[in-house]
Each structure stands twice: as structure tokens, then as C-alpha cells.
Amino acid sequence: MANVGIHVRREESSYWREWLRENGSRLLLFARQQTRRQEDAEDVLQEALVKLARKVEEGSFVGGQKAWMPFLYTQIRREAIDLGRRNDRRKRREDIVVEDEKLQGGPDESWFECAGYGDERRVLLEKALKELPGKFSEVIVMKLWGGRTFAEIGDILEISMNTVASRYRYGIDALRKNLSGARFRGDL
């Protein structure tokens, strides 16, 4: 019986690995958007994944595999909010670190891989996305790279579908204006 248990365990193990290879990058992007540091992103992602694994293995997860991603987006967001609250005490010290990083050009925490066209443009788009208020960028990240519908995003954020759609449009428009400004300044 022990051998059977080990066998099943190994199968599950490789399954999670394959599943992470397929979906991990999208979740990591969302976790990065929700947090201020790469380490925090990894922490909140891990917390969310552990909760999923626990629910799945206990048989208490409702909705089947299709519901895993919406669950994880919701969970990552909650974990990030919790983490933000816990870190409030250290906020001042972190702000100093962030200021230092800005002065030094910031850490190399690129959210995206090279897209095949002018990397300068990608860098500007990424920078503009990072500078957007979180309520706009989270919608854009979930819609474009998470493949979520406005209705699903509304469920995750607990807001109406119309609000999601308007935040999405406003966010894209803000990116456009930012890029136009860059063109005007001669950055492009």
C-alpha cells in the first residue's frame, strides 16, 4: 500500500509541475502587479498555490479545474492585501529603500519577456503599466495576460462588469497618453 501511495504522490507532483509550467507565468505577473517587490510576489503566489493544493487534495474545492485560475487570482489579491497591511509598520523604511532603488535605476524586475519588436517600446509600455494606479493595471493584467473576461474579473474584484470595462478602457487610454508623451519627449 505504501508503494501505491508514493506512486500517486509522484504523479500528483509531476502534475502540479506541468500545471505550473503552463500557468505559472500569468499568475506570477499578476502577483508582481499586486505587490511592490519580487520577494513579496513570490510569497503571495506561494500562499495562494498552497491553499489551492490543500483544497484540491482535501476534495473541498468547488468548481473543478476551470475554477482554479479565478480562485488563484482572488487568493493572490487577498494575500497581497494582507501582506500590505502587515507591512504597514515597515512602510517608512521600505519607502526609503524604494527611493534608493529609484535613484539607482531600480532593480531588474522585468515583468515581460522581449516581444520581438523594439525592446525600447516594450520597456516604455512596461514602465507605463507599472506606473498606472493598481485598480487599472490589475484589470489590464487579468484581461490581457490572464485571459479573464470582464465578468470574471468583476467576480474576482467584487465590482460590476461595467466598472471593470470602464477601468480597462481608462487604463489603456492612460497608457496611450503616456506613450504619446514619450514620443513627444523624444524617448521613442
Partner 1 sequence: MDPELQKIEAELERMSPGSMPEGMISRMEAAMEGWRDVSWQDEEAKVVPFPRAKEETVPQEEKSGRYLWAAVAGMALLGAVAGMVMIPEPVPAGIASNNSEIQRNSGSSGVRLKPGAVRTIELAPKTAKRTIVDATERNVIIPNGARPLRLMRVDLVDRVMFSSPGGEEFHLEVPSVNYQLVPAPTD
- Residue 173 engages partner 1 in binding (rule: CB under 8 A): yes
Q: Which of 85, 76, 83 is nearest to 156 (CA)?
A: 76
Torsions phi, psi for 116 (to 5 deg): 100, -20
> CA 67 to CA 56: how far, in whole Å?
11
> CA 128 to CA 175: how far, in whole Å?
6
Residue whose CB is less far from partner 1, 51 or 70: 51
Residue whose CB is less far from partner 1, 58 or 158: 58
Interacting positions 108-147 with partner 1 (CB under 8 A) = 110-113, 115-117, 121-122, 125-126, 129, 140, 144-145
CB of 85 to partner 1, least distance (A): 8
> CA 8 to CA 97: how far, in whole Å?
46
Binding mask 67-106 for partner 1 (x = CB under 8 A): ---------------x---x--xx----------------
Interacting positions 38-57 with partner 1 (CB under 8 A) = 42, 45-46, 49-54, 57
- The residue count for binding partner 1 (CB under 8 A) is 47
* Phi-psi domain of 48 (left: phi exceeds 0; alpha: psi -120 through 50; beta: other): alpha
Residue whose CB is less far from partner 1, 78 or 159: 78
Q: Spell 130-150 as b/e; 16+ CB within 10 A means b.
A: eebeeebbbbbbbbebbebeb
- Residue 29 engages partner 1 in binding (rule: CB under 8 A): yes
CB of 140 to partner 1, least distance (A): 7
Burial of 84 (0-12, 13-18, 19+ CB in 10 A): middle
- Chain positions contacting partner 1, by CB under 8 A: 9, 12-13, 16-17, 20-21, 24-26, 28-29, 42, 45-46, 49-54, 57, 82, 86, 89-90, 110-113, 115-117, 121-122, 125-126, 129, 140, 144-145, 169, 172-173, 175-176, 179
